[in-house]
Chains A and B, each alone.
Chain A
């Protein structure tokens, strides 16, 4: 009897896991199936869409990598991502340390304030920012995105790093100061080396946030050569009304799967950051 109850529980558990996995993954499964299909196989509504009725092909992947601007979008996205990560780290590491350790009571308020900035959606600001971008002569250039993306990433990274710095015991710094280090040096020599894993997590998330961004990239950049993955793929790989579905799906899958892996590796760090406000107050 106990055995039966145990097994029923397991079946329900695995059933639930299966349903959730299927719901989440179905567009991706469909992407991966589609990207290798021949046209004559894909565009016949009588064919079973889940099977390869004709042999799979790499033609559409080749088309994507050779004949479209996809490699350009990818390069632009990486270029923007790397620069934005650097700007973000340079600005948010000191800010986070300041809010975590130096600023005291007032710092906690400022910390919440910075976090609220992260909650201001780009859709509220893209119209005035488009004027700012034009007046700086950056319209239609990916530099406009390098300039603007840190407004999203700095608040987010500062918040994550703040939690990280708070988790490092104060005694370590105090011991360093007894040894004759100044406040600044104890931060550089003691706190930073201990924070490497936090910085790595923040780097990963900052980079993926820039990959995700859609609104600014759509509003500020119109020329194909300057577009990012997020906007280039849905607008440019769709020519007129003709969709190159296999290539489109390949483009989406190539980006989605590595980013998904990165997220899964650093997920715990992210969750800790998101929930810090509620758990620790």
Chain B
């Protein structure tokens, strides 16, 4: 009996010892997360790099080292260079529009007005909705025959009549014409990322100390002066966070192009992710698909380095 009690005390003492050691506890707590991420992010990434130097396909899983052949092969195809160009240009153009609009939207949302909760709900919808479903909404909104936008233009006599401003065809065929298809894709990227960027900027605006703004007001600075000389410089760090998220979600997205244009007309609106999908999964050329997707990596690496340096700088100050 007594023996049992001491045993028990001993055991609970040891248990207590282990659960009280911070270093052990912290590794125990962190271990499952690290294992999961190493196994299903780290390892696959290395496999992707390995694949891109071999001739693996979905049917034939034997790996033969082929050096840079895949990269040489994909660089030669016009589809690849078009995808790369599109990924870069879609991203840059949409980010410029997003950052301008997001600043305006953040200013608007940081003011008081009636029905703010509902307005915020509507504005957040594009970000909250699964992007594939949101894009279906746009697909129907931009329909080649029944687009309500075209109907509105026709109603205003801007379309579908001789000498009309937008042409005499009954429809604009948004997704059939190259320039309009590209513009539509960029429009959806803006539509989707604007809410997130705006709320991040809003958080930045609310973190500006009120007495600073009051002081500027007392000193006689007007709205624009306060905006450009106090608010914008102070939210610059947070703005770069907003841009980061926006770039990463835009560069990595494949649902918009896949659902909206399927890369068409022909292959002129393909982006790297969709082209990697068509190559790697639909035609089974795993190696070439992996090599194509890897071209996303330099962009992401640059972004990652930026974040790391950025966070170190805020640590110091």
Q: Mark A242-281, 1 if CB is under 8 A from B, else 0.
A: 0101001101100111011111100100111011011111
Provide the residues of chain A in CB contact with B200, threshold 8 Å. 271, 274-275
Contact present for A245 and B32 (CB under 8 Å): no
A158-B196 Cα distance, complex, nearest whole Å: 20
* Residue in contact with B203 in the complex, picked from A229, A259, A271, CB distance below 8 Å: A271
A249 vs B135: C-alpha distance when bound (angstroms): 11
B123 pairs with A259, CB closer than 8 A: no
Instruction: Please tell me which stretch of B45-53, B161-169, B172-180, B214-222 contacts chain A, meaning at least 4 of its Cβ atoms lie within 8 angstroms of it.
Output: B45-53
Contact B121 A260 (CB under 8 A): yes
Identify which of A61-69, A178-186, A190-198 touches chain B.
A178-186
Interface residues in B33-91 by Cβ distance below 8 A to A read: 33-34, 36-37, 40-41, 43-45, 47-48, 51, 61
Task: From A21, A123, A251, give the contact of B276 (CB < 8 A).
Answer: A123
Q: Are B151 and A127 in contact (CB under 8 A)?
A: no
| Binary contact readout B110-128 vs A (1 if CB under 8 angstroms, 0 otherwise) | 0101000101111111111
Q: Are A271 and B48 in contact (CB under 8 A)?
A: no
User: Does residue B93 face the partner (Cβ distance < 8 Å to A)?
Assistant: no
Whether the Cβ atoms of B146 and A127 lie closer than 8 Å is no
Number of interface residues of B (CB under 8 A): 108
Residue among A28, A255, A279 making CB contact with B207, cutoff 8 Å: A279
In residues 148-197 of chain A, which contact B (Cβ within 8 Å)? 148, 150-151, 154-155, 158, 182-185
Query: Are B311 and A281 within 8 A (Cβ)?
Result: yes
Main secondary structure of the interface of A (DSSP, over half): helix
A interface bracket (residues with beta carbon within 8 Å of B): 35 or more
Q: Known: A129-B40, A264-B124. Contact between A233 and B146, CB under 8 A?
A: no
Q: How far is the CA of A143 from the CA of B89 in the complex (A)?
A: 37
Q: Is the CB of A17 within 8 A of B108?
A: yes
Instruction: Give the distance in Å from the alpha carbon of A2 to the alpha carbon of B208 in the complex.
Output: 28
At the interface, yes or no: B286 with Cβ under 8 Å from chain A? Answer: yes
Q: Is A78 in contact with chain B by the CB < 8 A criterion?
A: no
User: With A20-B123, A256-B128, A278-B241 as given contacts, are A125 and B45 in contact (CB-CB < 8 Å)?
Assistant: yes
Q: Nearest residue in B to A49 (C-beta to C-beta)?
A: B148
Q: Which residues of A contact B125 (CB under 8 A)?
A: 24-25, 28, 256-257, 260
Q: Is the CB of A43 within 8 A of B146?
A: yes
B137 adjacent to A252 (CB under 8 Å): yes
Kindly state whether residue A240 has any CB partner on chain B within 8 Å: no
Is the Cβ of B241 less than 8 Å from the Cβ of A264? no
B146–A252 CB distance below 8 A: no
* CB of A226 closer than 8 Å to a CB of B: no
Find residues 77-131 in chain A having any chain B CB closer than 8 Å to their own CB: 90-92, 94-95, 97-99, 102-103, 107-108, 110, 112, 114-117, 119-131
Given contact pairs A112-B311, A275-B200, A26 touches B141 in the complex (Cβ within 8 A): yes
Complex Cα distance, B241 from A183, in Å, reads: 35
- With beta carbons under 8 angstroms apart, the residue of A14, A49, A259 that contacts B129 is A259
A158 touches B104 (CB 8 A): no
Q: A219, A248, A259, A275: which has the most chain B beta carbons within 10 Å? A: A275
> A264 contacts B120, CB within 8 Å?
yes
What chain B residues lie within 8 Å of A185 (beta carbons)?
A: 19
Docked complex Cα distance between A17 and B122 (Å): 10
- Per the bound structure, the CA–CA distance linking A122 and B253 in Å amounts to 9
| Cα A256 to Cα B125 with chains together (Å) | 7
Q: Cβ of A278 and Cβ of B128 under 8 Å apart?
A: no
CB of A184 within 8 A of CB of B311, answer: no
- Once bound together, how far apart are the Cα atoms of A19 and B97, in whole Å? 15
Q: Does B294 contact A (CB under 8 A)?
A: yes
Residues of B within 8 A of A132 (CB): 40, 43-44, 47
Chain B residues with Cβ below 8 Å from A98 are: 25-27, 29-30
Q: Which 9 interchain pairs have the tightest Cβ spacing? A: A121-B252, A27-B137, A102-B26, A281-B314, A94-B29, A98-B29, A128-B47, A123-B273, A184-B19
- 11 CB-based A-B contacts, threshold 8 Å: A30-B148, A95-B33, A98-B26, A121-B253, A127-B289, A132-B44, A214-B258, A234-B259, A263-B127, A277-B311, A278-B238
